[in-house]
Structure 1
Amino acid sequence: MFLAFGLVNILAAFALLRATLAWTEHRAYEQAEQHLRSTAVLMQRTYREDLDNEPSEALQQELIQLGKDSGYRLTLIDADGRVLADSSQPDLAAVLKMENHAERGEVSQAEYTNWGVAKRSSDTTGKPYVYVALRDAVDKGPSPTVRAAAMVDVIQEQIDYFRQRLWLLAMGVGAALLTVTYLVVSSIVRPVLQLNDAADAVSRGDYDQRAFVPNRDELGELASSFNHMCGELNSQFDELRRSGQRQATVLGGMVEGVIAIDSAQHVSLANKAAGNLLGFLPEKVEGRPLIEIIRNHTLHDALAEVQSNDQPQRLDIDLQGPEPRRLSVQITPLMGAESGGAVIVLHDITELRRLETIRQEFVANVSHELKTPLSSIKAYTETLLGGALHDEQHAMSFLGRIEEQADRLNALIQDLLSLARIESAEQTFDLAPVVVGEAVAACLSDYTPQADARGIRLLAESDEPQAEVVADPEGLRVILNNLVDNAIKYTPDGGSVTVGWKVVEEDYVRLSVTDTGIGIPKDQLPRVFERFHRVDKARSRELGGTGLGLSIVKHLTQSFGGSVAVESKIDHGTSFYVTLPKS
């Protein structure tokens, strides 16, 4: 913009300068003519009498001196056109050799108008002059004439001198004009550019940008309004950012997975929980079709129905994979949204369903475990009441079986109560350092008669017999008794049961109970610590097991800050591991 203004000013100044130079040149010649006229009048008054006389050297020398003083070429011409004197000639002899001047343009013109003016080259000197001739008569016709002439070169030198000064002045004025133009244009353009730069910055998201315009005119008011708008935008976007952060925090902290979709079932938002449930990164699924993330046609059919009738739906879906999951899904339409989108809330109920299944199995197992001894007791009682009571031999046998089933029922109830107390943390433990070797020796001593009866060897192996663990002494005894009892029950006659222990990871002691029994199928290993789970149910009941021993072992160990594990191979035996904190 400044260049345009500057160019316009320069062109205007150039045109003005040309006009000034032309006027100056015209004025210079006009002034020269005026001076020549004045000189001619003065000559006429001075030499009127001499114009009628003959040429003389005295007149010639006088005119030469006058010409030097005036700076002009002066000429006296008689009525016939003969030159009487000429300041450009050195003496009278030269004057007498001059041509007749009656036909000179300025002289012949003066015969008719008294004044004659011409600009031409002198036939005598060959130099260009401006001539002014004045006739010494009122009537027309031949009369003496005085002539004054100025050299064009002299006039041109004056014009050139003035032109140089004018150019210098013009350049100075031009520079000043450019400076003033720059300052004026800058004062107008700079605020506009500042506003433009500020608007560009705001368009790029820099809402802290401000336009500084000191003027109090319309532009200043515009800048003030712009700054106010930026402040309002900044406040609003700050609130939006805070709201977005709060929303992200809420969504990120939710256990439920949340997925928002548009009318085309493309993902517009997903939280971290949804990514964890479905195995994707939330920031990488925005804009992708939902079918690429959840390949479940039941869900997509339900979603399509929600989008068509704007009614929420709830359903459960099963996801296949290395770890199958069941999800509870709530689909809610975005009411009032023209896009027809919806929000999907996913809740992982896999564990809930597993616990429900365990509860159902637990109730069924408890019912079954209680029903069996109660049914036996009822049957034997009915037999006795039916008449066997009077048969002493049969009566004693039936009473013995009733006692056996009652003991089994009591053991089951005691194990259930013990497990319930452990799980509910109602039972308190006196945690203290316990020497593992001593606890193992006491356990093996208790089970030696049972093992010897079947030819089973009980062994204790350890390189650190004095190792200590932090546990409740009675609880550790229960753990060892359950593991050793199970090992003996499921080990064929003539086999062996080995109890070992060693320090692991510096801060823990790992106990192991290894038998040479029948082993556990691989698919059963993950469930061996569940309540009432039996690998061989018939054999377990035959051996008098309640199905709760390993579950008690697991919960006691966890109460002591430890962990359990199992390894087994069919027909080669099983190893149970209990890891407890080292004292």
Structure 2
Amino acid sequence: MSGSESSPRPARFVSLRWRLLLPLFVVTLIASMVGTYLLTRGLSSSQTTIRDNLLRTTSAMIATCAADLYERQLTETRLLAASPAVTDAIQAGDAAALQTIARDRAARAGLDSLILTDVPGAALVNVLRPLSEGDYASSTGADLSVQPLLRAVFAGEADEATSALPTPDGLIVYVAAPILADGVQIGAALTGLYAARIAAALNADTAAEVALYNSDGVLLASTLSDSRSVAEIPVRPNEVQLLDLGGPYLGTHVPFVYGTSTLGTVGVFTPDNTASLIESGRQMSGLVWATLAAAIVIAAFLLVNGMMGRLTNVTRVAEALAAGQGLARTGLEPTDEIGVIGAALDTYAAQVQERQDALRDSLRRQRREIAYLNSILEALPDGVIVQDEAGHVVFMNDLAKDLLGSQRVVDNSSFDDLTAVVTDVLGPALAPGVYALGDPKQVEYDGRMLNAQAAAIISMNNQRVGTVTLLREITGEVRRERGREQLLNRLTHDVQQPLASAAQTKALDSPSALSAFAREIARHAVAMQKIIVEMRELTDNVDSRAVRRMQRLLPLETLIWAVANEWRQVAQAANLTLQVSIEQAGLYILGDERRLRWAIGNLVDNAIKYTPPGGKLSLEIKGEQEGMARLRIRDNGVGIMPDELPHVFTRFFRGTPTMPNGRVIRVPGAGQGLTLAKAIIEAHGGEISLRSQPGKGTAVYFTLPLTAPVSLEMGSDDSELEGETVQIKTQMLKRGWRDDR
């Protein structure tokens, strides 16, 4: 049988249309008949029973609403009695505070009256608003001790009590609760609502007319406009009455229970329209059920017929797809199970077509992207080598081939040969899959210096799939750097040695007439040395990675003494007193000694340059805080102007330090010492700040991270620090070392 032929149906085949339609028709017909019978029978039941049920239901709703209203009023009463502000005001006898609290609470809770009393029952404050919703009026001193609800509360018979008290505007229903202070009664709180307002609330919640009577049957409040007629109705609890109150009404009376007290009775009145409703219901029921039965049968037929049509469509498309007709579609929306099946068939056919089209487009796009990527990599100014995870070269641009060997030889090599060339030339520092990727490496090859940087190629799922290496020839840069380094070394040696020797000799041995000249020579010698060091530091990488490469364990106090001894002669030549203060000994840091000594020395140099002769400066270790060593360098020099303070750490910024007599201090320099000092301290993980007052001096505060002396093994060779510090006694560490002239 060919794929295009439909499958033959079995002899006992019955259409699903009839399997669904016939049972549904029978069930609908039976349900319609039973429903019509039951509804007619129910509507034909006793009219009196319907009235009784209606009034009973309404009365139960009235009781529930009254209970809810009481609970809200009781909650407000308890909150008021438990308020610390009320308790404090009663104990303090603060009538003004009680009046303010009472007004605010009454207005916020929608109460008609609020009373606070002492233990005998005298009203400390009584706020009352008229029934016409006016403002609250206040009074005090009323004696409520004879009221039953207060006596019950004060006697401890109940935690709360309810009672109705008369007022000029009508009866008010009060709820009382004791006020306690440390377990002792100090008064009572009463909240009240007008009986008329309670009746209105019950009317609003149940849509029934309500009348409230006291225990003697006297009308207290009513929501009916004809109060006289209501007052004449005899109070007969739980008895249904047919009344004429401007129209036929059904009425009954039930106990008025408010909380734990029965305050009287509640009259419940509803319009008597049950007869007309029963008749109308009887007439409508037959029509509704007949119409409903017909509608159900018709709708069922149309629904089943439509459903079967959609099933037929799905069946046809499924057979066509099975026969290989990929363009067949049902066109159904997935609004139900049949639609979901049809939409799934359509989606399947569309996805097959889309996958074929997408595969062709993807192949074209990948070819274009590969060609585009190759063009970009060839146009880069660096050599590019791409290797897979196993280290095999999969791409190398022409510049990389030129850097690694003869262009002709490399062009004729296979990718395996290129892999061997890359491994041999770049060496183990960059061999993929063997060594970890790191900082850029310099590789010398065939008389040239190459800068090589390797990076991992990461896929979308965060998996490493290969390595890319960038090559750049830096032969010229390296030669220039080496020449510059040789020039700086030669300049350092030529300037430092003769000037330093001459300055020290004249400062110590010359007569006073030549002392000033010696100091000037020493000052210029130090400035020239500092400029040379700054030139060297400008070209170095002052960052955390460079510092980590050179750091080692340093005793902080030894470092400070070394800096002090370095600048000792300079301070003496400037007629200054240099002090060292160690407030906490035994601190250790990890750092680059050369850079730290230069940075701290630069701060000392600035203090010397801008402090007049006869002044003082100090190097201080203040202690530690939160794992940081706190240090300070201060002087009593000329200080810094306030408008210059924000710029002192700006490279090449030079201020105008001025003596008290107005003379500007001129010193040599490039204006970058503080900038480099800040960079070195921050590269070590520290912070630096500066405070200054013109004419009084400057203080530089900086911190350095501490480390434990056992965190790194201290080497036995301390040659870099030996001979550079002075030996001092223990007691001198406490009072500080002074180097006097």
When normalised by structure 1's length, the TM-score is 0.33
- Which of these two proteins has the greater Rg computed from alpha carbons? 1
The structure carrying a bigger helix percent of its residues is 1
When normalised by structure 2's length, the TM-score is 0.26
